[in-house]
Amino acid sequence: MTRETIAIVGAEQKSGSFFAAKLIGLDEYRILLMPGDSHIPPGDLHMPAGDMWTENEAVTCIKDGCWEADTILLDVAGDQEKETADKIREVSTQKIVLILPDAGSRYAYRETDWDELLPTAAIVHSYGDPHQGRISISGHEKSATDKIDSLLKKLGFETVIK
Amino acid sequence: MYELLHQKFNEHIHLTDQEFDFCKTQFRPKKLRKRQYLLQEGDTAKYTSFVEKGLLRTYSVDDKGHEHILQFSQEGWWVGDLYSFLTNEPSVYNIEALEDCELLQITREAWDNMLEKVPALERYFRIIVQNNLIATQRRLIGSLSETAEQKYLKLQQSFPGCLQRVPQHMIASYLGISRETLSRIRSQLAAKK
């Protein structure tokens, strides 16, 4: 089987790093890690312990990383969202983009309209605290929400599709 | 990112800017690094891909573990397993990037949607499939009837500039000859010049 590539933008953030560790532990995908804050050098991103596969790596350029990706996971701080969207808009067309829950916020919910920021991507929103093991997801494209649902279940989450 | 695709469309059909802008929303841009696989035997081909940049090889592996290269795909070509793409059957081919590649991929659903919204593309894809059929038939008859030297010369004509980008053992595999035979042919041709 060809390994799919998953890019995580915001791998230094709470949800981003949590998902990075889980995905790398699964050892089924090629994982590319990128900082969500443009001021953080990728060299500061550390591969979570247990990484057995050398093709996982921290990537310098967000656009290139998302260009290589089949699926994109975003955990980006509010003031970086538009800048991130501008960088990846062209390369995220027809790709599934999972907006990770904002683990730093009380409601773990992002209000930004990513469907407008990335209009040609298949956006899947997620809600809840990933550390509690339960996540709700929603999106306009059923095939995308189904695929994310399957991925989250593989990672051990209890999921609800809204 | 879409320049070569636009150029290739324009060789056979004319699309308005609005039509081409719509087409762009149906493709998935994908970068592949050298030695990464686009498709592996047993996978179902979910996409067919246009090569904007780079070079790939399509090959199968026989029961003895020998590789047989069917095709090299360079800039401006389409690459994929059409049978698997259209039928959802597992592929019997492997497709590997020989260089870093930039591809534009499209799913069956997006492809159908694009053809429905932009009917002129029916003509484009008909010509592409016709050309591919002719090339496949010529390769088949060539492999049955031509000498190794004739096959090599034809490959040189068909892929100008491509042979320098491909290792010799892969050229030999594509031609269905041994490395030693290929080396002898190249020496003989060099001596004739």
Q: Per-residue pLDDT tens for A62-107?
A: 999 999 999 999 999 888 889 999 999 999 999 999 999 876 665 5
**pLDDT grade, residue A45 (50/70/90)?**
low
Q: Say which of B26, B31, B107 has its CB closest to residue A67.
A: B31
**Using the beta-carbon criterion (under 8 Å), do A70 and B25 form an inter-chain contact?**
no
pLDDT at A129: 85
Mean pLDDT in residue range B22-43: 97
Q: Which residues of A touch B42 (CB under 8 A)?
A: 1
Report pLDDT digits (tens) over B108-135.
999 999 999 999 999 999 999 999 999 9
Residue in B31, B36, B38, B101 to test binding to A, most A beta-carbons within 10 Å: B31
Query: How many angstroms separate the CA of residue A37 from the nearest CA in chain B?
Result: 23
State yes or no: pLDDT of A109 exceeds 80: no
Q: Quick one: average pLDDT of B152-174?
A: 89
**In the predicted structure, residue A41 carries a pLDDT above the cut 90:** no
What residues contact residue A142 under an 8 Å CB cut-off, 6+ apart? none
In order of B58, B71, B163, the CA distances from B93 in angstroms are 6, 11, 22
Q: To probe the interface with A, which of B24, B28, B52, B79 has the most A CB atoms within 10 Å?
A: B28
Please state the rounded mean pLDDT for residues A114-125.
94
Residue of A nearest to B101 (CA): A68
Contact A93 B43 (CB under 8 A): no
| Residue with the larger pLDDT of the pair B41 and A14 | B41
Interface of B with A in 115-144 (CB under 8 A): none
The predicted pLDDT at position A48 comes to 57
Average of per-residue pLDDT across B159-188: 91
What is the widest separation between alpha-carbon atoms in chain B?
Answer: 56
Residue that has been written with the tokens 């050298």 in this structure:
B34
Work out the mean pLDDT of chain A and round it to a whole number. 87
- Torsion, Cα B7 B72 B119 B24, to 10 degrees, reads -60
The pLDDT assigned to A107 comes to 54
CB contact (8 A) between residue A91 and residue B29: yes
For residue B1, which residues of chain A lie inside 8 Å, CB to CB? 90
% of chain B with per-residue pLDDT over 70: 100
Distance CA A89, CA B131 (A): 34
Q: What is the pLDDT of residue B158?
A: 83
Higher pLDDT, B163 or A17: A17
Mutation target to probe the B interface, by most B beta carbons within 10 A, among A2, A66, A92 is A2
Report B:101-120 residues touching A (Cβ under 8 A).
102, 105-107, 110
Q: Order the strands of the A96-99 sheet from edge to edge.
A: A57-58, A30-34, A5-9, A71-74, A96-99, A122-127, A134-139, A158-161
> Could you tell me which residue, A152 or A52, shows the higher pLDDT?
A152
Contact A94 B31 (CB under 8 A): no
The closest CB to that of B40, out of A2, A68, A120, belongs to A2
- Please compute the mean of the pLDDT values over residues B55-84 and round it to a whole number: 94
Q: If you average pLDDT over every residue of chain B, what do you get? A: 94
**How many secondary structure helices (H) and strands (E) does chain B include?**
8, 8
Q: Using the beta-carbon criterion (under 8 Å), do B29 and A68 form an inter-chain contact?
A: no
* DSSP for residue B90: B
Band the pLDDT of A7: cuts 50, 70, 90: very high
Question: Would you call A93 and B25 a contact, using CB atoms and an 8 Å cutoff?
Answer: yes
Q: What is the mean pLDDT of residues B46-61?
A: 97
Q: Among B26, B29, B39, select the one facing A90 at the smallest CB separation.
A: B29
- Within 8 A by CB and 6+ apart from A52, the residues are A27
Residue B190 has a pLDDT of: 86
Tell me if chain B has a CB within 8 Å of the CB of A91.
yes
Q: Which pLDDT band, with edges at 50, 70 and 90, does A108 fall under?
A: low
Closest-CA residue in chain A for B32?
A68
Q: Measured between CB atoms, which of B31, B38, B106 is closest to A64?
A: B31
Q: What SS3 class is residue B55?
A: coil
B54 CA to chain A: closest CA distance, Å? Answer: 14
